[in-house]
Amino acid sequence: MTQQTTPLLNLIALSADEMKSFVQGLGWPRYRTNQILRWLYQHRVLDIEAMTNLSKADRARLQEVATIHRMLSSPQKIATDGTGKFVWNLEDGLAVETVLIPEGHRRTLCLSSQVGCTLDCGFCLTAEMGLKRSLRAHEIVGQVLNVQTSLPEREHLTSLVFMGMGEPLVNFEPLAEAIQRLTNIEWGLGFSPRRITVSTAGWIPRFPDIRRLGVNLAISLNATTNEQRARLMPAVNGRYDLSALLEACRHYTQFSERPLTFEYVLLAGVNDSPEDAKRLVSLLSRIRCKVNLIPFNEFPGNPFRRPAPDVIETFQGIVRNKGLDVFLRKSRGDDVLGACGQLGRSASEVLSQTTTNKRRTLPIYAQS
Ligand code: SF4
């Protein structure tokens, strides 16, 4: 008769509460929970043998029942501007991407929350994949642990932004669990919530939950009329239209110390006119916020185009002159498809594509 072997438990996949129960189950003292968690998150060990404040006997016992498994990366692609794109191979054969953006001493990491996306924003490469699945908490945190481990010893990640693949707020529970591990000071990675930004296409039922987590919230707005937004972002706008979104944003800032950030992808001939700029100012007039303008990052198969520099300047000038804080986001990593809205397939896969994507039709040009 063949003996069935129980698969080893992946320690990094356990929440803090699960770790506590696991430690109790082994008959160990309670303090051992935090000891193990510190080895996983603060020392980033990948080998139970390295947990040297556990006795040899306890390490041996732990190795009988558990392991530490973090996802592996394909070789990092580095863009000419230094932006790094990591493609992680998940246990079930799927892949997800993370982008590291170095700027001076700052190291910003753009994280993914899903493989593909539930939503269907017309200017986004990830949308073309559809949703394969949502990431689990340890797969979200694993992106941070792995990238930090890959950096030279004196370099540290300074900010984390959930602007990669997926709509983070539809994967809220794993996101919240990941944020707990990222911010916990006692045993976790100790990031200040102020250094973490979650970006949403407008999944408003989760806004109060995000406020409770204390992290920053960014809204991917991209339109100044409901009709425009319905065409650019049909799935989310079909559930929560522009007026519902703006009302939720007003409410959010009434109860939050932090201002909101609005992200606005500028698409040539679609949402970049002076009228759009004026409407944007009026829509945001009663909301404490700043605006990030993101000139569209073109990719093969997508019909949208980046506006000309003078159009971008005029748009920004109108918004700024009306007193809003407005910033132009520099395009980073677009030669490895690591820029905003370009995550989903490796650059080589996309660049070798010869046919136009079937889901894409002509851009939705403004009627003016
Ligand atoms: S822009 Fe964000 S929310 Fe929209 S499809 Fe792309 S990943 Fe999803």
Give the pLDDT confidence of 98-119 residue by residue, as tens digits: 999 999 999 999 999 999 999 9
The verdict on 138 and 17 lying in the same domain is no
Atom of ligand 1 nearest to the CA of 166: 7
CA-nearest of 151, 144, 140, 158 to 195 is 158
Q: State the pLDDT confidence band at 73, using cuts at 50, 70 and 90.
A: confident
**222 and 188, same structural domain?**
yes
Check which CATH number belongs to the domain holding 245 and give it. 3.20.20.70
Q: Which domain holds residue 324?
A: 72-351
Kindly state the greatest CA–CA separation across the chain. Answer: 80
117 lines ligand 1 (CB under 6 A): yes
Residues 228 and 241 in one domain: yes
Sign of CA dihedral 248, 250, 256, 262: positive
Asked which of 67, 87, 116 is the last residue of a domain, the reply is 67
Does some domain include residue 118?
Answer: yes
Residue nearest to atom 4 of ligand 1 (CA): 121
Residues 6+ apart with CB under 8 A from 158: 105, 106, 107, 108, 195
Q: Give the per-residue pLDDT at 202.
A: 97
pTM, 2 dp: 0.91
Confidence category of residue 341, pLDDT binned at 50, 70, 90: low
Residue 358 lies in a domain: no
- DSSP secondary structure letters along 151-191: S-TT----EEEE-SSS-GGGGHHHHHHHHHHHH-SSSS---
Domain count, the chain: 2
What is the distance in A from the centroid of ligand 1 to the CA of 117? 6
Average pLDDT score, the chain = 90
- The catalytically annotated residue of 117, 121, 249, 340 is 340
Give yes or no for residue 348 having a pLDDT over 60: no
Point out the ligand 1 atom lying closest to the alpha carbon of residue 343.
7
Residues 314 and 229 in one domain: yes
% the chain with pLDDT above 70: 89
With a 6 Å cutoff on the Cβ, whether 163 touches ligand 1 is no
Q: Is 340 in the pocket of ligand 1 (CB under 6 A)?
A: no
Q: Give the separation between CA 348 and CA 353, rounded to whole angstroms.
A: 9
User: In CATH, what number is assigned to the domain containing residue 47?
Assistant: 1.10.150.530
pLDDT of residue 360: 35
27 and 174 in a single domain? The answer is: no
pLDDT value for 76: 79
Q: Tell me which residue has tokens 């916990």.
A: 184
User: What pLDDT shows up at residue 309?
Assistant: 96
Query: Are residues 35 and 158 both part of a single domain?
Result: no
Q: Does residue 263 have its Cβ closer than 6 Å to ligand 1? A: no
Task: Summarize pLDDT for 166-188 with one digit per residue, the tens.
Answer: 999 999 999 999 999 999 999 99
Local confidence band at 335 (pLDDT 50, 70, 90 cut-offs): low
Asked if residue 366 belongs to a domain, the reply is no
Tally the residues of the chain: 368
Q: Are residues 288 and 215 in the same domain?
A: yes
Residues 279-318: pLDDT tens digits? Answer: 999 999 989 999 999 999 888 888 999 999 999 999 999 9
Domain assignment present for 99 = yes
Atom of ligand 1 lying closest to residue 117 CA: 8
pLDDT at res. 200: 97
For residues 244 and 341, give the distance between their C-alpha atoms in angstroms, rounded to a whole number.
Answer: 24
> Are residues 22 and 162 located together in one domain of the fold?
no
2 domain-assigned: no
pLDDT of 84 above 60: yes
pLDDT of residue 358 exceeding 90: no
298 is catalytic: no
In a domain, 263, yes or no: yes
125 lines ligand 1 (CB under 6 A): no
> Are 42 and 169 part of one and the same domain?
no
To the query of whether residue 121 is one of the catalytic residues in this protein, the response is no
pLDDT value for 347:
34
Residue 323 within any structural domain of the chain: yes
Mean pLDDT of 28-45: 97
CB distance 14 to ligand 1 below 6 Å: no
- Domain end position, chosen among 67, 87, 106: 67
The verdict on 341 and 212 lying in the same domain is yes
- Predicted local distance difference test score (pLDDT) of residue 19: 98
Q: What is the pLDDT, as a whole number, of residue 90?
A: 94
Q: Are residues 62 and 79 part of one domain? A: no
Backbone angles phi, psi at 33, to 5 degrees: -60, -55
In this structure, is residue 200 part of a structural domain? yes
Cα–Cα dist 72/281, whole Å: 44
Shared domain for 36 and 155, answered yes or no, is: no
* Minimum-distance ligand 1 atom for the alpha carbon of 164: 7
